Amino acid sequence: MIVIPIADYQHFSFAECLLFLNRSPRECLHQVREGSLYKLLAPEGSPVLIKINEDVEQQSLIAEVLQGGSNETYIRDFLNKWMHLDGRMDDFYAFAAKDNLLGPLTKSFKGLRLIGIPDLFEAITWTITGQQINLSFAYTLKQRLVQAFGYVLEEEGISYYLYPHPAVIASLQPEDLTVMQFSRTKAEGIIRVAKLMAAGALTEEILKQMPYEEARETLVAIKGIGNWSANYVLMKFAQHPQALPLEDAALHNVLRNQLALPAKPALQEVKALTSHWKNHAAYATFYCWRSLYKG
């Protein structure tokens, strides 16, 4: 058993995190069953299946290795990044309490942590997949990609998947993805990123070391990655607190609904409405997104 302490436990809800993680029936990279979370990882390339539960007394999450070797450091680091277990929420909750939009959201979804995407290739290609389509279809495309090109582990009749490695996708042609209903632009963009990462031109280590602005500029320099995608990646992978995907249509809808605006706000109005978020922008955006899911 691997014990992962949860910082600022009074502002943590495993139930809220599970609700968010379980929001799509097409999600295939983790599973939520009977209050437990199952995830296949690959420390040093070796598949490890873990089962995750909460230990209230220890104010921790407990990871049980069901199959594969136990790489405690990797598992601990992954879970911290995935559910921001080592982060403190005091400042954000104090900030939100004074905000007409965010205050009600933090009360409704108290304890929700920003669910990240610790794998850079997955984070970037997920944003490309989701560009200009609804979330349901984005999950359908992701499921097809993962099941066709990812690693699968069978355990007691259940399939667990790893996201495809960049080297695997780098060897494809756009037609290999367009047959799955990826647009040609998306297919080319995903393969382009795969080739960059397979060649070592873009790595997790390099991006993590960059300050926010440099990291954003590095990402938008890649064809097919705009400001929205770059900020999404920096929010979900690199955990930059100021990352704000201003162009996000879902965020615009939340602002309109929660603030009772007469129409969907234009980009300049969105900038004005969110300008005070600053280093709370990532969490503010994430809580706005959570309000769209009725689970």
* Tens-place pLDDT, residues 112-151: 999 999 999 999 999 999 998 999 999 999 999 999 999 9
Cβ atoms within 10 Å, residue 162: 19
- For 120-236, CATH number out of 3.60.15.10, 3.40.720.10, 3.90.50.10, 1.10.340.30 equals 1.10.340.30
- Cα separation, 143 vs 182, in Å, equals 12
Lookup result for tokens 């939340």: 254
- Cα separation, 19 vs 58, in Å, equals 22
Q: Point out the catalytic residue in the list 55, 99, 176, 248.
A: 248
Looking at every residue in the chain, the average pLDDT score rounds to 96
Lookup result for tokens 């990291």: 215
Note if 176 is an active site residue.
no
Q: What's the whole-model pTM score? A: 0.94
Class of domain 2-88: alpha beta
Instruction: Give residue 185's pLDDT.
Output: 97
Instruction: Give residue 280's pLDDT.
Output: 98
Sketch the domain layout of the chain as residue ranges. Answer: 2-88, 120-236
Instruction: Give residue 295's pLDDT.
Output: 67
- Cα separation, 40 vs 35, in Å, equals 17
What are the beta bridge partners of residue 67? 49
Task: Give the residue ranges of DSSP H helices in the chain.
Answer: 14-21, 72-83, 90-97, 102-108, 120-130, 135-149, 166-170, 174-178, 184-198, 204-209, 212-220, 227-236, 249-258, 267-274, 281-290
Instruction: Give residue 222's pLDDT.
Output: 96
Residue ranges of the chain whose pLDDT lies below 50: none
Instruction: Give residue 126's pLDDT.
Output: 97
Q: Please compute Rg for the chain using Cα positions.
A: 19
Q: What are phi and psi of 234, to 5 degrees?
A: -70, -25
Instruction: Give residue 116's pLDDT.
Output: 97
